[in-house]
Amino acid sequence: MVKVDDYEVPEGLYYSKEWTWVKVEDGKVRIGITDYAQKQLKEIVFADLPRAGDEIVKNEPFGTVESVKSVSDLIAPVSGKVEEVNEEVVDNPGVINEDPYGAGWLILVSPSNLDEDLKTLMSFEESVKWHKKLIEEG
C-alpha cells in the first residue's frame, strides 16, 4: 500500500481512469471504486448495482453511486457476467467510504475477455504516477 498525498493505492490491483479498481481472483474479478473516488464523492448514501446474472460491458455504466454531493456512474473496467453483488454495500453504502478496497467492494464478475481488458487498465505503478499527476494538477 502506498499513500499518494492522502489517497491509498494498494498493490496487486489494476486501476481504470474511471476510478475503479480490479482484483483478479481465480479467473474472476472483484471490482470497487478507489479511495480517491470515494473521498471526492464524500459521504456515499446510495449504491445502485446490477444483479447477479447481468452482463456488464467494458467502458459502459453498470450502476451508480450517490453521495450527498452528486450522483456518479460506475464505468465497467471489464466486460463479463456479474456473479455476485456486495449486498452489504446495497444495505449500507457508507461501507465504501470506510473500506473501499475491502468490505466496500461492489461486484464479482466472470470476465469474458480478461487478458485484453487488463491490457487497457493501469498497473499499480502506473496508478501511483497517475494519482501524483492528478494531485499536482489539483
Average pLDDT over residues 85-98: 97
The CATH code for residues 2-130 is 2.40.50.100
Give yes or no for residue 114 having a pLDDT over 90.
yes
- Please tell me the distance from the alpha carbon of residue 93 to that of residue 103, in angstroms, as a whole number: 10
* Domain ranges across the chain: 2-130
Confidence label for 75 from pLDDT (cuts 50, 70 and 90) = very high
Give yes or no for residue 69 having a pLDDT over 90.
no
pLDDT confidence of residue 123: 96
50 with 62: CB under 8 angstroms?
yes
What is the percentage of the chain residues whose pLDDT exceeds 70? Answer: 100
Per-residue pLDDT reduced to its tens digit, 18-60: 999 999 999 999 999 999 999 999 999 999 999 999 999 999 9
pLDDT confidence of residue 52: 98
pLDDT confidence of residue 135: 87
